[in-house]
């Protein structure tokens, strides 16, 4: 009888603990699904499961360049401003150009730059913490503009970019096929390493493209640093790339050779004179300029060539070739290199680039973090919440861009400055407009000039766009490059 009573008592305790656990979890789940806002009303939306939120639904791939179904369904149900939870963070997403512009203009007031946790960890605390002040923000933008801004592009990089394009395309033409994003990424990384970091990539045994691509895959995932996860691979690559950049920096610091006046030399000088700068931050900035240079551009090249290869693209190709052939025909010598004046004279090529960038949207969105309560359209976004501007939805808005899924460069003939300013944001908005904007445009324009006048290509395989919610292409996009016969 005593043993039976003890068993009953044990089970009573177990059942009590289960009951308390159930009540506690139910209460936590209710609070998770119904977050409070002390100073107003939260935007409508759903928070999904505790901790996980709606991350799984967000990551479901969509085989189209269009706005992902995750966004479309919630906009239809809640409107263009809605709450959710992704990668363990409470968020508000917006697809409204006016709200997005307001968020951009609030930077430094009620919001500040924020990266996904995986991005924070990849770049390290050095960059995130150092950019907390307005002075550091201005310094970093000027640093990049000094080396990839208009003057530097015009005086130092322009002809080197054309030479790079000629050499790369000639090399690709000797191969059975090339994957467009992969080969253009390698081309750009080698250019940046050579011209901005004065580094010979053939010395390295590391595959920078692969390591940085792994980072892209890990950026939106839950930051679970466990072997086998995408985030774990992301962090392993972060350590390798960071050490490689530190090695380059130290080698240059200890070198007795003449200064090169490049990005690395400026970092070395600034480590000595800027209080917030350190060797760690300098190495992180070296990663940042390599990453910022290749990822967006190589993705855009892939999308552009997919559309230019499409059966409906002959008119685009005809006009693109006409513009670049006219430039050559107007020269005293057809073999002269492209000039800055000729680049600035292009009118149709910038439209092709704009249309490509509108359709590309290689990142899930542009994110900011609320540093105080943000009041928008009668709602409140609480301090500490994340705000994501969904570029894809803004760029695919049929009210702003008629027949948005069509590749139509001519649409840019009649688009007003207000739409371009608020509804076309491939390089961000407000104070955070990307310092590499002109670099991207120059690189793509020069590459197209060489490609269409000297080479042709045919599709080999691939070309199925996938939003995951960033942009990838199933099986890549493989083409055969051929030199045009000269008469």
**Does any domain span residue 31?**
no
**Does any domain span residue 400?**
yes
| Sheet bearing 81-86, strands edge to edge | 81-86, 89-94, 386-389, 366-370, 111-113
| 3-class SS of residue 457 | strand
Are the C-beta atoms of 51 and 88 separated by less than 8 Å? yes
Instruction: Say which range, 209-223, 383-397, 443-457, has the weakest mean pLDDT.
Output: 209-223
**Does any domain span residue 438?**
yes
Alpha-carbon span 217 to 122, nearest angstrom? 12
What's the confidence (pLDDT) of residue 3? 63
% the chain with pLDDT above 70: 79
What's the confidence (pLDDT) of residue 36? 79
Q: How confident is the model at residue 250 (pLDDT cuts 50, 70, 90)?
A: confident
Beta-bridge partners for 84: 91
Annotated binding site: 434
pLDDT tens digits along 102-138: 999 998 889 887 765 545 554 555 454 444 445 666 7
**Does any domain span residue 44?**
no
What's the confidence (pLDDT) of residue 419? 79
Alpha-carbon span 473 to 466, nearest angstrom? 5
**Does any domain span residue 465?**
yes
Q: How confident is the model at residue 35 (pLDDT cuts 50, 70, 90)?
A: confident
**Does any domain span residue 43?**
no
Encoded tokens for 57? 């639904």
Q: Which domain holds residue 446?
A: 102-376+396-483
| 3-class SS of residue 105 | helix
Q: How confident is the model at residue 341 (pLDDT cuts 50, 70, 90)?
A: very high
Q: How confident is the model at residue 216 (pLDDT cuts 50, 70, 90)?
A: low
Q: How many independent structural domains does the chain possess?
A: 1
pLDDT(51) > 90: no
Beta-bridge partners for 126: none
Nearest-10 Cα torsion for 55, 61, 65, 71? -30
What's the confidence (pLDDT) of residue 116? 54
Q: How confident is the model at residue 80 (pLDDT cuts 50, 70, 90)?
A: very high
- Of residues 35 and 475, more confidence is placed in 475
Flag whether the pTM goes above 0.85.
Answer: yes
| Domain CATH number, residue 410 | 1.10.630.10
Annotated binding site for heme: 434
pLDDT(245) > 80: yes
pLDDT tens digits along 361-396: 877 888 899 999 999 999 999 999 999 999 999 999
**Does any domain span residue 47?**
no
**Does any domain span residue 387?**
no
What's the confidence (pLDDT) of residue 15? 61
């Amino acid at each position: 009888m005593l043993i039976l009573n003890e068993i009953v008592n044990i089970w009573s305790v177990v059942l009590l603990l289960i009951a308390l656990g159930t009540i506690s979890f139910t209460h936590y789940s209710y609070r998770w699904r119904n977050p409070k806002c002390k100073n107003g009303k939260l935007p409508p939306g759903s928070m999904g499961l505790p901790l996980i939120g709606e991350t799984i639904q967000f990551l479901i791939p969509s085989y189209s360049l269009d706005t992902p179904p995750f966004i479309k369904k919630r906009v239809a149900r809640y409107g263009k401003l809605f709450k959710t939870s992704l990668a363990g963070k409470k968020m508000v997403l917006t697809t409204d150009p006016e709200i997005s512009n307001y968020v951009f203009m609030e930077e430094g007031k009620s919001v500040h730059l924020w990266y996904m946790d995986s991005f924070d960890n990849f770049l390290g605390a050095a960059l995130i913490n150092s950019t907390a002040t307005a002075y550091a923000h201005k310094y970093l933008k000027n640093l990049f503009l000094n080396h990839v801004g208009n003057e530097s592009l015009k005086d130092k990089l322009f002809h080197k970019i054309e030479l790079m394009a000629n050499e790369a395309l000639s090399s690709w033409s000797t191969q059975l096929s090339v994957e467009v994003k992969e080969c253009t990424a390698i081309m750009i990384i080698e250019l940046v390493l050579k011209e901005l970091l004065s580094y010979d990539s053939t010395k390295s045994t590391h595959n920078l493209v692969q390591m940085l691509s792994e980072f892209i895959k890990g950026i939106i995932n839950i930051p679970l640093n466990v072997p086998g996860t995408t985030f774990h691979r992301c962090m392993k690559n972060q350590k390798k790339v960071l050490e490689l950049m530190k090695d380059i920096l130290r080698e240059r610091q200890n070198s007795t050779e003449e200064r090169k006046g490049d990005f690395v030399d400026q970092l070395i000088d600034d480590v000595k004179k800027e209080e917030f700068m350190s060797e760690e931050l300098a190495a992180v900035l070296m990663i940042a300029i390599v990453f910022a240079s290749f990822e967006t551009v190589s993705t855009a090249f892939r999308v552009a060539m997919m559309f230019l290869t499409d059966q409906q693209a002959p008119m685009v190709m005809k006009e693109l070739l006409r513009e670049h052939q006219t430039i050559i025909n107007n020269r005293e010598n057809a073999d002269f290199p492209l000039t800055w004046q000729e680049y600035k004279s292009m009118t149709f090529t910038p439209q092709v680039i704009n249309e490509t960038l509108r359709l590309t949207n290689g990142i899930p969105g542009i994110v900011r973090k609320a540093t105080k309560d943000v009041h928008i359209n009668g709602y409140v976004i609480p301090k500490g919440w994340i705000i994501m501007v969904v570029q894809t939805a803004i760029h695919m808005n049929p009210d702003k861009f008629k027949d948005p899924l069509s590749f139509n460069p001519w649409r840019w003939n009649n688009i007003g400055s207000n739409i371009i300013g608020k509804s076309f944001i491939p390089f961000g908005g407000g104070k955070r407009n990307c310092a590499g904007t002109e670099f991207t445009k120059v690189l793509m324009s020069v590459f197209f000039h060489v490609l269409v006048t000297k080479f042709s290509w045919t599709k080999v395989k691939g070309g199925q766009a996938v939003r995951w919610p960033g942009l990838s292409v199933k099986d890549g996009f493989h083409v055969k490059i051929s030199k045009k016969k000269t008469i």
